[in-house]
Amino acid sequence: MTLPLRFRVRGALALLLVLAACSRPAPEVAEGSRVAPRWDRTPVIFVPGINREVARLLRDSLFSLEPLTLRTDAETIAHLGDPRFAADLKPLNGALPFDPDHLRKTAVRGMQGLVDVLTREEGYVRANPADPTDKDFPENAAAVRADRDRVGTLFVWYYDWRRDNVETACLLADLVESIRAATGAPKVLLVGHSMGGIVIRYYLRYGGRDAIRGRDCPIGSGEPHDQINRPGAEAVAGAVFLGVPHGGSALAFRTLVSDFTLWRVVPIGLREPVFSMPSAWQLLPRGLGDGAVPLLVEAGGGGVREVSLYTPQTWTERRWIFNDWSDPARRMFLEVMVERAEAFQRSLDGLHPDEGKTPRLNVYSACRPTLARAVLTPNGLRFVGRDDQNDPFYGRTYDPGDGVVTEASGRLPAAPSLQTLLTCASHNGYHEDSGVARAVVAFLNQARR
């Protein structure tokens, strides 16, 4: 059923207002409160998770979230893993290519506090990843902003988070090499929040290479090309993970099978765009040894039912696909997304030797109710709201976590190179915890030596 236009307008306007409220300007740091810039810092690259570039994609569309939708045709499937495809061929709906430059004065979601600490107290200088001599950011002193000779030492890397995470890792590998070349640094430090940490882990293991299809990253030529396709661990002095869904997230599953609503009444139309995003499939909850996921709580009083989440028939037979997905091209897209998501997750299983030799700090939380399962009813699925604590299924569908990532999903296999920090932070509030900030700064200072 199509909602009346007035409801779609109200819903879109409300969503934009929420985005605008969250996209606060990055704070200006008082000149007298800064330490002097230290140009010998090992470069730090921040890799955010799903971030505010969504506001840029929505800017020209009050009536639909369609500009978020990626292509789902056979040509797109053939080019999975090739990050040049999105730049060379626009999505079918004509959405503009992603441009992060408008975000330079916007607070970095989930990470701004750490950016402030490193620039204010540790002497790091924020710069543009695309041009390391461009330091016109609010975290820097006026004299530093005007200087176009020296390169910066701290970079916040925005990327199109909708796309396949292997493509993003390919672009990260290229970025690391360009930062190393510009700064002369032998290695870099990486800080990842949420899905950004997943990209970093893949990069540490495989560089920019598509290990799923056995293809090199198609960026660069000669020696840079060879370096981009080596395990990234060789170029990384240390990595920090903040609220990373190492084991996937039930919220990804919810977004794929059920639209979000405003005031629990007005659907915002997010489901179909998310269905087209490879990254959303790659964030699904990780399966057990046989691939099944303990995901569904039976309403009749039974236990938790396991579901073969990575079998296309599960999605079609349970009608977890919307509208008419009988079209062969769309069915093929579904099959490829499910297969590639499982393969991507398998590529991150266990302790990889290259990732394992990299000093890492993993920060996760265990104090906040976090969606972990859905209720299976005769009419389909039901998701209990985070605030519905009186719901009889609340305790069976929520686990401790940070509100997005459960404690179990936030863990990594123990290793000599791994430090862990368990906190009570919210998913986007790790940077607001002074204890986390101190631990991250101490880790970075130790790793860069």
Give per-residue pLDDT as tens, 32-85: 567 899 999 999 999 999 875 555 554 444 456 666 788 888 888 999 988 888
* Rounded Cα–Cα distance for residues 385 and 366 (Å): 18
Name the maximum alpha-carbon separation found in the chain. Answer: 68
Q: How many domains does the chain have?
A: 1
pLDDT at 348 over 60: yes
pLDDT at 157 over 50: yes
Give per-residue pLDDT as tens, 232-266: 999 999 999 999 999 999 999 999 998 766 656 56
In this prediction, what percent of the chain has a pLDDT beyond 70?
82
Confidence class of residue 97 from pLDDT cuts 50, 70 and 90? low
The predicted structure's pLDDT at residue 327: 78
The predicted structure's pLDDT at residue 30: 60
* Rounded Cα–Cα distance for residues 90 and 97 (Å): 7
The predicted structure's pLDDT at residue 26: 63
pLDDT at 194 over 60: yes
Average pLDDT over residues 384-401: 94
Confidence class of residue 219 from pLDDT cuts 50, 70 and 90? confident
Is the pTM for the entire model greater than 0.85? yes
Confidence class of residue 408 from pLDDT cuts 50, 70 and 90? very high
Give per-residue pLDDT as tens, 168-179: 999 999 999 999
Q: Structural domain of residue 192, as residue ranges?
A: 5-447
Give per-residue pLDDT as tens, 10-22: 444 343 333 343 4
